[in-house]
Amino acid sequence: MTTTTPALLLKGLTKTFDRPAVDGLDLTVRAGEFYGLLGPNGAGKTTTLRIVAGLLRPDAGSVSVFGTDALADPVAAKRVVAWVSDEPMIYDRLSPFEYLEFVAGLWNIDAAAAETKARHLIDWLGLGPHAHERCQGFSKGMRQKVALAGALVHDPRLIILDEPLTGLDAGSARQVKDVLAERVRAGGTVIMTTHILEVAERMAERIGVIADGRLIAEGTLEELRREAGRDGTSLEDVFLDLVAARSAAA
């Protein structure tokens, strides 16, 4: 595997429920970049990311994570991936400290190393005073921070986040964004879906726009502006134009 191996390579990805959710999607995310995946409701973003995380099997197509075929060897792919959804996956009756211990066990991380990392994450995310309280009764923001700490404690090369900022207050959202930015600076790869376009505009190095299960545009913000013919406008305007053009074409 070389340094040019993409963090994620999707080819012809297809998944149909009652209707096609992902329709022959091709997508490449480079290692070490912050990739924003945008699209209207029902565009296929979550389905795509759930397939990458190993939570769904596609009907057709291939998924490669850092060169590993995630469909043929899902366990190997999962070792380097973390998944964070908009609904924090935590246990009400475990404390954040116990939760991180459990996650470290799932990823089979050395206990001592994981503990050091966990303590750092707990402090960094401002969870210190609550580290040994049960998560039951935690606010949405605190729960999301615990889930994020769980995603980072095993030091993944690729973090996939599906609407991680939904329902967070400004302070919590800032902390989550800071953690992700730091992660990319340290060489990690982040793929994030969000409906908050300002976040994608400010944080993502490249943005993919997906509609009806297909990638309809991709590039830096400048490249997307040029494609939409809207130089100097916001990502929101560009996004709405691209989606409207797609709808008109369909």
Q: Which residues bind other proteins (CB under 8 A)?
A: 53-57, 75-79, 81-83, 85, 89-95, 97-98, 100-108, 111-112, 114-115, 118, 130, 132-134, 136-137, 150
Closest contact distance (angstroms) between CB of 214 and other proteins is: 22
Closest contact distance (angstroms) between CB of 111 and other proteins is: 4
Closest contact distance (angstroms) between CB of 81 and other proteins is: 7
Classified as helix, coil or strand, 33 is coil
Spatial separation of the C-alpha atoms in residues 72 and 96, rounded to whole Å: 33
Q: Which is nearer to other proteins, 7 or 215 (CB)?
A: 7
Q: Which is nearer to other proteins, 43 or 131 (CB)?
A: 131
Give the CA distances from residue 3 to residues 7, 35, 66, 67, 136, in Å, rounded to whole numbers and listed in that order. Answer: 10, 17, 9, 10, 42
Q: Which is nearer to other proteins, 89 or 245 (CB)?
A: 89
Q: Which is nearer to other proteins, 130 or 246 (CB)?
A: 130
Give the CA distances from residue 39 to residues 17, 27, 29, 42, 191, in Å, rounded to whole numbers and listed in that order. Answer: 18, 14, 17, 8, 14
Classified as helix, coil or strand, 9 is strand
Spatial separation of the C-alpha atoms in residues 72 and 63, rounded to whole Å: 9
Q: Which is nearer to other proteins, 105 or 229 (CB)?
A: 105
Spatial separation of the C-alpha atoms in residues 194 and 86, rounded to whole Å: 10
Closest contact distance (angstroms) between CB of 217 and other proteins is: 28
Tokens of 165: 């900022």
Closest contact distance (angstroms) between CB of 40 and other proteins is: 23
**DSSP H or E segment with residue 34:** strand 34-38
Q: Which is nearer to other proteins, 129 or 232 (CB)?
A: 129
Spatial separation of the C-alpha atoms in residues 247 and 41, rounded to whole Å: 13
DSSP state of 110: -
Closest contact distance (angstroms) between CB of 59 and other proteins is: 10
